[in-house]
Amino acid sequence: MSRLDLIIFGATGYTGKNAVKELCRVLKNNAFTGLTWGVAGRSESKLDDVLREVSKKTEEDLSSIRKVIADVSDEKSLTDMCLQCKVIVNCCGPYRNYGEPVVKAAIEAKTHYVDVSGEPEFMETMQLFYNERAREAGVYIISACGFDSIPNDMGVIFLQQNFGGTVNSVESYLTVMAPKNPSGGYINYGTWETLVYSLANYSMLSKLRKKLYPTPMPDFKPKLTRRRLLHSHNSAYTLPFPGSDGAVVYRTQRSLYEHESQRPAQFKAYVTFPSLFMGLKTLFGAIVLYLMSMLSCTRALLLRYPRLFSGGTVSRTEPSETDVQETRFYFELLAEGWAGDDADLTSPPNKTMTAKVTGSNPGYGATVVALLFSAIMILREQDKMPKCGVLTPGYAYRKTSIIQHLNENNLKFEIVSRDSEKQNEK
């Protein structure tokens, strides 16, 4: 049996189902005709249901799509699944619970692997234990290929490639515009479960990172310090963004420093709110969420009553398609550094540049677009990628055309303020 180009594992879940639907849309583009694919999951009947549902929505005949039965608790089924494709697209999370067996199977089968994990503990553990094995097998293991963390990770790369000099630091501000009264919540339960367990295990990251990076990077000046916990920005109020973006960007920039001798960009991420009241309300909710995630009894309450503790944004039922499609976002990335290739990096930075990354349906629209093109880049542009291993998206895809493809598929990267040199502003 010949290998398919890719298989979507976890296709019966909410993210997986959206990935199947998006792949049908992408394959209508003449540039990707001929790409072969399949779906995988625990239940053949549920896989049939997904293919029928997507077929009805897309008016595509999916009757010939290969279905593979695989279960994360059955190592042989995972290896057999991976042996049937060149790239496994893993939509089966939370990855801290279900990701490692799939990574192991992919390496054993010499199959490339991508996922949408936003879990630093999982991603960094995979790098620590499987990077050398992946290199020996000649495969890529690339996590964070969704909303976490393509916009910020590739956004920093995009700025570095367009800056015309050296970037010292980037500050990212995320703004989300969502329906005020979602009918069924616009965040899937799996995303909530991932967040709760990430908070519960946050303290483990420090020890893990000391093993992963025993030698710290040198201090680069001027040092980018975090702003006040709640500060104003462009008539909005901001808090530190709690996602995995900072960890992923750091790993990318460290790879550029260690393997390409490129000065790394420092990075801080924030999320904006339209009013001080909303910012304070969110801060209070975040503190309660963090404290409740620490104890097993209160953590159980968070997982049992997600809609109550998320203010109505999370539901065990699938989010309303209307609500998620009406949710829009943009990242504003502010870079500061030095103009020119021969700049004196000991002098004060003299140049700024602003990029913006915009899209819709961040959790399940923009995410699956980024995920699928991450897989396609491995299939089509592997010659532009670095040596195999457990990599970040920014380091793996920086020389590919992924940003061009994302721009053509409703996830837009653009420079909105170019070549603003500080000395010219005086």
Q: Would you write out the chain's pLDDT as a tens digit for each of its 426 residues?
A: 799 999 999 999 989 999 999 999 999 877 788 899 999 999 999 999 999 999 999 999 999 999 999 999 999 999 999 999 999 999 998 999 999 999 999 999 999 999 999 999 999 999 999 999 999 999 999 999 999 899 999 999 999 999 999 999 999 999 998 777 656 666 778 788 888 988 888 888 889 999 999 999 999 999 999 999 999 998 899 999 988 999 999 999 999 999 999 999 999 999 999 999 999 998 999 899 999 999 999 999 999 988 888 887 887 777 667 777 788 999 999 999 999 988 899 999 999 999 999 999 887 889 999 999 999 999 999 999 999 999 999 999 999 999 999 999 999 999 998 766 554 433
Is the domain of 320 the same as that of 375? no
Is the domain of 248 the same as that of 334? yes
Is the domain of 295 the same as that of 406? yes
Is the domain of 334 the same as that of 257? yes
Specify the pLDDT at position 426.
34
Output the pTM of the full model: 0.93
Is the domain of 114 the same as that of 234? no
Is the domain of 284 the same as that of 178? yes
Per-residue pLDDT reduced to its tens digit, 165-209: 999 999 999 999 877 765 666 677 878 888 898 888 888 888 999
Is the domain of 260 the same as that of 303? yes
Structural domain span for residue 92: 4-146+368-396
Is the domain of 374 the same as that of 267? no
Is the domain of 357 the same as that of 337? yes
Is the domain of 316 the same as that of 421? yes
CATH number of domain containing 136: 3.40.50.720
Within 8 A by CB and 6+ apart from 338, the residues are 165, 166, 168, 344, 345, 347, 349, 350, 351
Is the domain of 269 the same as that of 417? yes
- Domains held by the chain: number: 2
Is the domain of 377 the same as that of 309? no
